[in-house]
Amino acid sequence: MKWKLISNPFSTVHVFHLMEANAIKEVLRYNPLQQSARITCMGKQRLFFIEQVSSRNNHFAFKNEYGFDIGRLSIENFHAEGGTIEIEEKKFHYRLFTNSVSELVIYEHDHVQPLVTCSFIKGPGSVSHNKKESIHEYASLLLGLCWYLFNPSFSENNIDYKPALSLA
């Protein structure tokens, strides 16, 4: 699986496809002006807002289209590039490893066995959790990934495998 940027990186809405074997599994439309993510998956569409809760860029709340909290993202350490994400009472830890290709790894509580690995290809306009201009986009991609993989309403996507993902 991989995240693929479909739109121009400089357009007003950034469109990403979550691809698996040339099939689109999820579409994420991120609007930087509204700090919103519109996610379409399995014929269902949802709208989420990413709100910064603290002034130091390290805590964010995810709200649904009705304004209710559905989760949060905490960046615990900018140097280690890790933190926690909670979606509908499920808590996961993540870490972003930066090499020639950045790799996002999501863990459950043990930090030993990864649930998901997502590769981000570096380049102009690449997302990061510590660049002010892309942190909300980074949060929306993390939300979209978790929403697809761990949402109970998508029973066929229950995570009992460890997919490799990449952002191309």
Which residue in this structure is represented by tokens 């709340």? 61
The angle formed by the CA atoms of residues 97, 99 and 100, to the nearest 5 degrees, is 140
Q: Percent of the chain at pLDDT above 90?
A: 23
Judge whether 74 and 83 are in contact, CB under 8 Å.
Answer: yes
**Are 47 and 36 in contact, with CB atoms under 8 Å apart?**
yes
Q: Which of 72-81, 112-121, 152-161 has the lowest mean pLDDT?
A: 152-161
Give the mean pLDDT of 19-36.
Answer: 90
Give the DSSP per-residue string, 39-80. EEETTEEEEEEEEE-STTS-EEEEEETTS-EEEEEEEEETTT
Cβ–Cβ under 8 Å, residues 2 and 117: no
- Identify the band that residue 102 occupies on the pLDDT scale cut at 50, 70 and 90: low
Q: Which amino acid is at 58?
A: N
Q: What angle do CA 106, 72, 59 make, to 5 degrees?
A: 100
Greater confidence (143 vs 117) lies with 143
Q: Comparing C-alpha atoms, which of 43, 84, 50 is closest to residue 65? A: 50
Say whether pTM exceeds 0.85: no
Q: Contact at 8 Å (CB) between 96 and 80?
A: no
Q: Which helix (H) or strand (E) holds 57?
A: none
The tokens for 74 are 């905490």
